[in-house]
């Protein structure tokens, strides 16, 4: 599975930035631990967790959009007028 399949096209740049942040913070974490700088290590680890949460949010957003798209396609295959459902706020 590639990064392009995990996140939507419009969120791909943000996801890549968050992944880069995880890698950078991981290096900072290792360096801080090597230097016995626990405060800097804690800050780096919190930044890693924050980036991972954002990646999870972006992934969940794509999965929800994919589910909605599949649902709309299923309705279309059953000849259900999706435009009317949109106007009624059902889709």
The pLDDT profile of the chain, 91 residues, written as one tens digit per residue, is 899 999 999 999 999 999 999 999 999 999 999 999 999 999 999 999 999 999 999 999 999 999 989 988 898 888 888 777 777 776 6
Q: Does residue 27 sit within a domain?
A: yes
In a domain, 3, yes or no: no
- Tally of helices (H runs) and strands (E runs) in the chain: 4, 0
**Two tokens, residue 54:** 């954002």
Q: How many domains does the chain have?
A: 1
Q: Which residues contact 91 (CB under 8 A, 6 or more apart)?
A: 68, 71, 72, 75, 82, 85
In this structure, is residue 30 part of a structural domain?
yes
Whether 32 is covered by a domain: the verdict is: yes
* Residue 2 placed within a domain: no
Count of C-beta atoms within a 10 Å radius of residue 26: 14
């Amino acid at each position: 599975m590639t990064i392009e399949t995990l996140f939507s096209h419009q969120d791909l740049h943000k996801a890549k930035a968050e992944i880069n942040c995880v890698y950078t913070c991981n290096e900072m974490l290792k360096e801080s631990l090597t230097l016995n700088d626990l405060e800097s290590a804690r800050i780096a680890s919190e930044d890693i967790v924050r980036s991972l949460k954002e990646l999870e949010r972006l992934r969940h957003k794509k999965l929800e959009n994919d589910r909605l798209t599949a649902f709309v396609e299923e309705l279309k295959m059953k000849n259900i007028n999706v435009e009317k459902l949109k106007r009624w706020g059902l889709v």
